[in-house]
Amino acid sequence: MSNLTIRQISLALILSAFVAAPTINLAQAAGSDTPSPPPASDTKSQPKDKKKGERKSSIEDPAFLQGYRTAYATIYEQNDYAAAIPQLKALGQDDRADVANLIGYSYRKLGNYELASVWYERALKADPDHVRTWQYYGLWQVEQGNREQAKHHLAKIEALTGRDSAEYQSLASALTNGRTSY
């Protein structure tokens, strides 16, 4: 075999390993302070860069990232849900799953279950595979006594991330003991 043939076979094997490997969206699975990229079909949140003519995602925008991280800290470090809602809305990206989910979460923590549901639905409309929204909305279902709906959310999380994910474990635990920690 020639060196060229060996290189081509090696490259083909490496590429096939990447194609076959499962993909994990760490921002959704870990609930980080960095929002996940919008779904491929989401062009609303990708304004045109007028200088270069290419689309730029808002997660590349330093002002958006800083505002998102500030709101994230307001929620998870300061537990100030009322202050986080206007911070998130001020980002101008409340049709993004990450942002809408955190708005829903904040409303749920404030006890406004009706508005929380509206925002969770908005997040799932933006990204039907947004794992953290399925988790939080499932916890909302548990808090409302809707165990069958919560089980549906749990099944969706399992299909997206498996049973070992933190989101699955959190909702499964809430279904078992009736208490939510998020």
Tokens of 176: 């078992």
Q: Is pTM beyond 0.85 here?
A: no
106-136: pLDDT as tens digits: 999 999 999 999 999 999 999 999 999 999 9
Q: What is the pLDDT of residue 60?
A: 74
Residues 6+ apart with CB under 8 A from 133: 97, 100, 101, 104, 120, 123, 124, 127
CATH no., domain 24-177: 1.25.40.10
57-68: pLDDT as tens digits: 566 789 999 999
The Cα 56–Cα 43 span in angstroms is 10
4-63: pLDDT as tens digits: 666 666 555 554 444 443 333 333 333 566 676 555 444 344 443 433 333 345 667 899
Q: Is the dihedral of CA 89, 90, 92, 96 positive or negative?
A: negative
Residues 6+ apart with CB under 8 A from 130: 28, 36, 97, 98, 101, 123, 124
